[in-house]
Amino acid sequence: MKIKGKRLVVVSNRLPVTIDKNDKNEWEILPGAGGLTTALSPVMEQNQGLWIGWPGPVRGERVQTLVETFSKKHTYNLQAVSLTQPEVDRYYHGFSNETIWPLFHDLLGRTNFDKINWETYIAVNRRFARAISESAKRGDIIWVQDYHLMLVAEFLKKMQIKQPLAFFLHIPFPSLDLFRRLPWKREIINALIQFDMIGFQTLRDRRNFVQCLKALIPEVGVFIKRRQTLILYKSRTIKVGNYPISIDFEEFNSLAQKKEVSDAAWYLHENMRKKTIILGLDRLDYTKGIPERFLAFERALEKYPELQEKVSLLQIVVPSRTMVPDYQNLKELLDTLIGRINGKYSKHGWIPIHYMFRFLDRVQLLGHYKACEIALVTPLRDGMNLVAKEYCASSIDCKGVLILSEFAGAAAELSGGALIVNPYDVEGTADAIYTAFNMDQKERAGRMRLLRTRIKRNNVYRWVDKFLASFSGEDPLREGELEELEPHGREVPDMNIWIKQTQVAEEKEEGKEFSSSPSN
């Protein structure tokens, strides 16, 4: 998407590159492989943009040299924000991932409220804001990414930055009951509404945010226009919308057709003795529901003995934060569960759970997607979950079945074709495994075609285009375009009626997104 006459400035915790030593023991900088990098790099190149972020643990003049090397090879620039190790420990590992991450994923019991971590989070956000203010030019569009940098807009406003500011939250936004537990909730909510536009993954996240905003700042006005909620506060209008992120469908679809991927899939199936393979693929994290998944699979083997020796769960866990005690404990729990289940059910020539704790390269990743007849994607809570979408995009023969948690953001888009489960419901998930195993090819193909159509239509490039088009649009407050749901400064006679009107209006707009495809 070309933004006429404007430069896009993207700000994220990490730069979209990896800096490491190569086989010759020389430092090199390479483009990152994440979904956000894939989506935004073409837009950044078209607009000669600037990406600001932390380069990783490498510091000093070496970073500047590598960043300049990258910028010469691409048509957009990088700007590094350096962090000390104590700042990484307290801002990133501390407040971002021990406070915000578990709280926003509905796991209050794992949340650590530490004042020093909070103060470091403030300091680092201020440093990012300073880096932006030093580089921003007139006419720039500044787009800040994710929960690490929720305070940036407030500091930029204090620095008299006039450029439009946007924010996108990639993780869920919690309900009011959870958010109010945060000691610094007012500081964060006030900082967020300094942005001119705030984007969320799902309608539920958007509603949660508006509910928290109304509870903490009762004087705000709330309106709805098409797919956006408009917040009126102190003579400002803040746009709030939901824009589900996605993947590059064509990339996965085309790579899945390559010979090396087909060979990897064939080899995997041969090694599994041609059993039906259920795939679990997750980063090591307590939000992913891996222990609950193991228990559901165990229950399926117990409840439906005919599954034994016919189906195996292939669980791949990608190492993450392995030095954090909670994650070490999770890995120990997984090891214990696997040992117990395999010890109980294994028979000669058949092991119920095959487990790998490792990274997969792109060919092996798509080979696993292509080989597995069932994907079990059951996070306890997830902003979106792109594994579900990658699996469907790689299922070019339409023989796969997706079992998906209702608490993944992707469920809002994929519920028509996936089998939706509650990951806390061991019995229900076990039943879904049995249903998927016995599903005939006609139903499999119909469901998968629907999923692939939706993902192809709502790909990652459409996500970028829709967000930026919405952000850079004209002033939304034009007469005749608004339905006033809660007038500013006036009580609503019946709150229940207002809530119902809000839900009906939003769900009507949400439904238009997928109306081109019938639900199964």
Residues assigned a catalytic role: 170, 382
Task: Give me the DSSP letters along 240-282.
Answer: EEE------HHHHHHHTTSHHHHHHHHHHHHHTTT-EEEEEEE
Encoding tokens for residue 215? 């509870």
Encoding tokens for residue 280? 């679990």
Residues 391/340, Cβ–Cβ less than 8 Å: no
Buried b (16+ CB within 10 A) or exposed e, 106-142: eeeeebeeeeebbebbbebbbbbbebbbeebeeebbb
In angstroms, the CA 473 to CA 157 distance is 21
CA of residue 58 relative to chain centroid, distance: 26
Show Cβ contacts of residue 416 under 8 Å, excluding neighbours closer than 6 positions.
447, 450, 451, 454, 514, 517, 518, 519, 520
Residues 448/392, Cβ–Cβ less than 8 Å: yes
Residue type present at position 429:
T
In angstroms, the CA 104 to CA 424 distance is 18
In angstroms, the CA 14 to CA 145 distance is 10
Helices 362-371 & 259-271, crossing angle to 10 degrees?
60
Helices 325-345 & 290-303, crossing angle to 10 degrees?
10
Distances (CA, A) of 49 to 78, 161, 294, 462: 9, 18, 45, 19
Distances (CA, A) of 77 to 12, 52, 64, 477: 14, 9, 12, 35
Residue type present at position 331:
K
4 CB-side CA count, 13 A: 3
Distances (CA, A) of 73 to 12, 56, 290, 486: 21, 20, 41, 51
Residue type present at position 206:
R
Sign of CA dihedral 272, 441, 387, 303: negative
User: What sections of 51-100 are H helices per DSSP?
Assistant: 61-73, 85-87
Task: Please give the span between the terminal C-alpha atoms of the chain, in angstroms, as a whole number.
Answer: 34
Distances (CA, A) of 64 to 19, 53, 61, 69, 80: 11, 13, 5, 9, 8
